[in-house]
Chain A
Amino acid sequence: MATYYVRTDGSDTNAGTGPATNQAWQTITKAIGATGIAPGDTLYIAPGVYRGAFTAAFTNPTSEGQRITIAGNPTASLFSGVNAGPVVLTNYTNTTTSTGTTGLTISKNFITLNDLCFINNVAGGASLYGTGVYLTSSSLIVNRCLSQNRETNLEAYGFHVTVPSDLIGPIITNSIFIGGLLLATQATASYNCAGVVNDCLFIRTSTASATSSAALTFINSTTIKAGGYTIANNTFYSGGTCIGVFGSFGLSTTIPSLFTNNYFRGSTGISMTSTASQNETYNIFECVTDRVNVNTGTGSVSKPQHALDMHISKIQGWSTLPFLAPITGSYGIGAGTTTSAPATDMFGVTWLTLPTIGSTETSRIANQYLPTERNASTITIAPGSTSQTIELYLGATGLTASTSGLSARYNRTRTASVDIPLVARVIGSTDPSGTGVWAAGGFAEVDSVNMPGVYRLDLPNAALIAGADDVTIVVRGASGTNGAVMTIKLSSGGLTGAQTAAAVWDADPTGYNTATNFGGVIMETNNLANGIESLVLDIPQTVWDAPKSSHTVANTFGDYLDAKVSTVADTARIQLRQGPFLIRQNASEGLITEVNQFLSTVPNIEIVLIDSSGGSVSVSGSTLVMRVRNQAGTAVVNNITPTVAYADGGVIRWTPNLSWTALGVTTAGTYRIVVERTMGTVTTTFGPFLVQLSSG
């Protein structure tokens, strides 16, 4: 169950188990050889051209659990340093010369081939079959492959599948065969091989008759036949026969096969050996001879008005239909049957209603979707926004979430598009049941009278999550509108005022500890009352005007400021700056000053020390202490160290940032404060001055 890789710049001496240049193998010969992949393994092949005639030599898988997958990776999603492109296996030795022998030969069971292009040049001829790819395999799966081979008028098949004796037929889907597909069995008795060919395109220019080769040819090794094939939703272009049998070796007449929902354009549509070997239903025939030994089936039509788009819609500029989609007005649009039909067309598009005949679904609207015609606009929404709604102009009134064909999709940068299932909503309603409020995919016309054609669409939250540069919204598909395209730029520039405020005030203050930035200032991490008033001028108004009651989550800035700043204003705790008070040395004049404050007051006092002559006293190089005593001056209530504001002028400040009560002075009354200046061994006392403290 290992995964192996091949890239053109790899090496066969590598282990092959990784996609890098120094990990991957280089050649197909190595990868599918005896020393390459084994039962249960998966092989991924990088984009590039791989030349040669390759033959599988690995061990033959014996069960579904041992299935080997050989897959191209044309998007190069698995290979770094490789551009996207086709994964080509070819027998051309250069662009003009081929080996002329089979390009790929696999005689193993339980094989899956995905996303490969087989370009070969092998001539046909009697008993040669001209096979570009030759697979002898039971339970083969082929998906999203191209087979192109040289054509001759005799037995030239690009892709040859032989089912070993009485085993399971191939399942071939979403592939293109230019040069023919041959389905052979080695049946020993009539049996149901259950082979399937769905959603494929066949192009064969050879005019060969059914008895030699057709675009899709059945053959049995004997007259004993296999049956039970389902051939559905294919498109055939053939200069000769579209579906035929080789010689007289037709399909089982007891286990009929089914050909349904196919489009046949050729000389002959279906040419078989017995009317009992198949049922054909819901096919379109544009042929000289529609059927040979085939009964006319239910739902089939000969030569209706039906044309496939091969980019004429782009050339003429009226639409961008997929290749081979029926052009508007064609008979086969939605004219098929669901019985035995695939769920999607060859591009993986789900049938809009009943399957369309042929390989490709088409748009069902009269006026096709032209995304550049009108109403392409761009808006900005913050990434991660939820419950967002946009308005779009669709140009038609009366559309609802259930309008046939109407669809909405979004595409985030470099990702696949995502369907937005539409649901009904009510414009302007506040109905709590949900029909009026936001709901992902909610859709309604805003005002059919006053704003006709404008619709409201509720965006899924997943469309706006962070991680993409932009999101493109498309609403389209309903009759009468060309749809609308809106690109949403995912950018924080689109924050609303509330989102900006929330981003600021609900932020965690942890880590904001630098005094020179906003966070640090607000947190006052330098223990200074920096104040914020002069620093906020360039902060958006939406931040400062935000109601503080909206930002009270614990441990956020909003909570912090609400508690610290607002609380000051809400209580009796006030902060005053008083002074400067002049206090004299030794206070020979007695008590010179009285300060009246509350116990809850933060002192915040500025003092100038002066000598007996009134001159200032330098405190430079001195040690200062303020002693708070009772009025009698007998007991020290608290000792305080002031800060020096101007040393030579003797200016000191006492800004403890704490109230008297918090400083230990809890009783109202009169207190005496002296300042002691110690310089060397000499201590000089200034003051005292009185502080009258009142309750409150």
Chain B
Amino acid sequence: MNLQNFRIEKEPAPSTDWKVYGDIEDDAGNILGTFGQDGTSVNIWWVQQDEFFQSGIVQQFAMIMAQQIISGDAE
């Protein structure tokens, strides 16, 4: 799986969301899927996923949160 034209953008305030843009392709360049012409908002997509998937990502995210808390970059 490859991503082409991939980029992420911060949504304008007051939104705190991010948007993801790009095409999802195979090695032959066939588009398998897309984030949509207007991109996909992360928060909106996130809440649509099942709890099992979310818990796995949250556990990974928790490690980053812990590091940032310890380093003083976040609370």
Contact = CB atoms under 8 A, between A and B. Distances in A.
Interface of A: 123, 125-126, 152-154, 207, 211, 275, 288-294, 296, 300, 302
B4 interface: yes
A294 B3 CA distance: 8
A292 B64 contact: no
A493 to B, nearest CB: 66
Given A126-B73, A288-B1, A291-B2, A296 B67 contact: no
Interface of B: 1-6, 8, 22, 27-29, 60, 63-64, 67-68, 71, 73
A290 B71 contact: no
A290 B63 contact: no
A246 to B, nearest CB: 14
A125 B71 contact: yes
B29 A289 contact: no
Contact of A154 (B5, B27, B68): B68
Contacts of B63: 153, 207
Contact of B2 (A126, A153, A154, A289): A289
Nearest to A297: B27
Contacts of B71: 123, 125, 152
A275 B4 CA distance: 8
A159 B5 CA distance: 30
B64 A290 contact: no
B interface SS class = mixed
Contacts of B22: 292
A290 B4 CA distance: 11
B27 A290 contact: yes
A154 B1 contact: no
A300 B26 CA distance: 13
A357 to B, nearest CB: 16
B1 A289 contact: yes
Given A125-B73, A207-B60, A302-B27, A293 B4 contact: yes
A293 B3 contact: yes
28 contacts: A123-B71, A126-B73, A152-B71, A153-B64, A153-B67, A154-B64, A154-B67, A154-B68, A207-B60, A207-B63, A211-B8, A275-B4, A289-B1, A289-B2, A290-B1, A290-B2, A291-B2, A291-B3, A292-B2, A292-B3, A292-B6, A292-B22, A293-B3, A293-B6, A294-B2, A296-B2, A296-B27, A296-B29
Contacts of A300: 27
A393 B60 CA distance: 58
A152 B8 CA distance: 23
A294 B68 CA distance: 31
Given A290-B2, A296-B28, 9 more contacts: A123-B71, A125-B73, A153-B64, A207-B63, A211-B8, A289-B3, A293-B6, A294-B2, A296-B27
B41 to A, nearest CB: 18
Contact of B67 (A152, A291, A293, A294): A152
Nearest to B64: A153
A283 B41 CA distance: 33
A154 B5 CA distance: 24
Contacts of B68: 154
A153 B61 CA distance: 10
B67 to A, nearest CB: 5
Nearest to B72: A125
Nearest to B70: A123
B46 to A, nearest CB: 16
Contacts of A211: 8
Contacts of A294: 2
A271 to B, nearest CB: 8
A207 B67 CA distance: 13
Nearest to A300: B27
A382 B64 CA distance: 69
Nearest to A287: B1
Nearest to A302: B27
Nearest to A127: B73
A138 B1 CA distance: 37
